[in-house]
A and B are shown apart, each in its own frame.
Chain A
């Protein structure tokens, strides 16, 4: 979706401000928000693409004025209500008014190390050969779905070159909407900076995105 998350090429946010000796968390609530977000992800009530879509669905004005852990918190709040795990009243009160709904798993402290070490690989066995190979010229489609996509606006309708073929990966655009993993070949597509940003761009700039096969057509 063309939401507040799709920031590549926007202007007016000011300089990047690196922080010397930055702490991992800037407030006590941030560390709880981080842990709660991961723990809820581990229940299997939703997948990573669903959670990314919940975050990017915040109204742009709210997204752009929320800190990152606030965005995560608001995403979890939306998801627990959407999935029926918590009612809006329960969320407001911070107390249960109805019995819990079943979840697939509950992450226990003793399992945290193993679960993190295992991660969540999202490569899948290929069912068909790759359409493109390294060096192929491709053009990205001009897609503007109202749902989740991982093709940024700045990289739509642009001509580039296949640089890497990563294998077959879960397709976020379907997986975020309960439409299945629908795995597709995934490529790194590189673009000359001038193709993306015009003739005034730095001639020594090259930008790439990782793009699923259905984002691409032969150039």
Chain B
């Protein structure tokens, strides 16, 4: 079912009932009653979905990081007042009202988790991936982060401090990964291509120029 279709759920069994899972039926029933009672406008539901499917995602965060790598003044602003610095690029609002940026160095690697639910900086990273919301990540990020990093293919030197930020309040954290070597003179757009979603959560590193060229 695409966004914008099948808002009339009165008789779902007529045409595709055999393919509908219990959760399909359950959510259809929920949306139907909420729409019928006038609490929910299905066109607004479509617009909400479309926003995160097409406009808000980790490319936003990559622009923030690339600018921080390129512009020392912006980097300082981002570390001092991330909410304002990020807003200057047009990324504001829900689940990013109170932003803090933390910067990886050779001595310290930052990683973000929400052990209690799924808090995640939507305006810069979009909606979280399933693994971020899953029990394995939420349980182990705080007690065994090196084991978690290994599952992402990341191995850090044992002396590198691993700094875990558990997002237990409404502050949302963005990791600024280290700028890869061999990128001198690159413009922001090219640099942004090295910034992965996972590198801004702290479960990955920025890509090397070789990885992008390959």
Q: Known pairs A67-B130, A106-B41. 9 more at Cβ < 8 A?
A: A7-B116, A8-B113, A17-B151, A24-B53, A32-B28, A32-B49, A38-B48, A80-B34, A111-B44
Cross-chain contact A205 with B27 (CB below 8 angstroms) = no
B contact residues around A17 at 8 Å (CB): 131, 134, 136, 151
Within 8 A of A (CB), among B87-114: 92-98, 100, 113
A contact residues around B169 at 8 Å (CB): 150, 166, 169, 172, 186, 210-212
Shortest Cβ distance from residue B112 to the other chain A in the assembled complex, whole angstroms: 10
Cross-chain contact A119 with B92 (CB below 8 angstroms) = yes
A64 vs B38: C-alpha distance when bound (angstroms): 33
A55 vs B118: C-alpha distance when bound (angstroms): 11
- Between A116, A119, A154, the greatest number of chain B beta carbons within 10 A of the residue's beta carbon is seen for A116
Within 8 A of A (CB), among B118-168: 118, 126-127, 129-131, 133-143, 145-146, 148, 151-152, 158-168
Residues of B in contact (CB 8 Å), total: 84
Contact (A109, B131) CB under 8 Å given A8-B143, A43-B39, A205-B145: no
Cross-chain contact B93 with A117 (CB below 8 angstroms) = yes
A73 vs B29: C-alpha distance when bound (angstroms): 11
A-B residue pairs in contact (CB < 8 Å), sample of 19: A14-B136, A15-B151, A16-B131, A16-B136, A36-B27, A73-B26, A93-B29, A94-B32, A103-B39, A109-B46, A112-B51, A116-B56, A118-B93, A152-B115, A154-B143, A166-B171, A204-B160, A204-B162, A209-B166
CB-nearest residue of chain A to B142: A8
Cross-chain contact A91 with B135 (CB below 8 angstroms) = no
Q: Which of A18, A77, A101 is B30 in contact with, Cβ under 8 Å?
A: A77
CB-nearest residue of chain A to B148: A16
What are the interface flags for A42-63 relative to B under an 8 Å C-beta threshold, 1 for contact and 0 otherwise? 1101000000100110000000
Q: Is B15 an interface residue (CB 8 A)?
A: no
Chain A residues proximal to chain B, CB less than 8 Å = 5-11, 13-19, 22, 24-29, 31-36, 38-40, 42-43, 45, 52, 55-56, 64, 67-68, 70, 73, 76-77, 80, 85-86, 90-96, 100-101, 103, 106-109, 111-113, 115-123, 150-152, 154-155, 164, 166, 169-170, 172, 186, 188, 196-197, 201-202, 204-212
Cross-chain contact A121 with B39 (CB below 8 angstroms) = no
B contact residues around A35 at 8 Å (CB): 44-46, 48-49
A181 vs B45: C-alpha distance when bound (angstroms): 28
Cross-chain contact B98 with A204 (CB below 8 angstroms) = no
CB-nearest residue of chain B to A33: B27
Cross-chain contact A210 with B168 (CB below 8 angstroms) = yes
Cross-chain contact A18 with B151 (CB below 8 angstroms) = yes
Cross-chain contact B39 with A29 (CB below 8 angstroms) = no
Q: Which of A25, A68, A76, A204 is B133 in contact with, Cβ under 8 Å?
A: A68
Cross-chain contact B117 with A107 (CB below 8 angstroms) = no
B contact residues around A73 at 8 Å (CB): 23, 26-27, 30
Q: Is B52 an interface residue (CB 8 A)?
A: yes
Shortest Cβ distance from residue B14 to the other chain A in the assembled complex, whole angstroms: 14
A101 vs B38: C-alpha distance when bound (angstroms): 9
- Between B33, B117, B137, the greatest number of chain A beta carbons within 10 A of the residue's beta carbon is seen for B33
B contact residues around A42 at 8 Å (CB): 44
B contact residues around A196 at 8 Å (CB): 142-143
A150 vs B119: C-alpha distance when bound (angstroms): 12
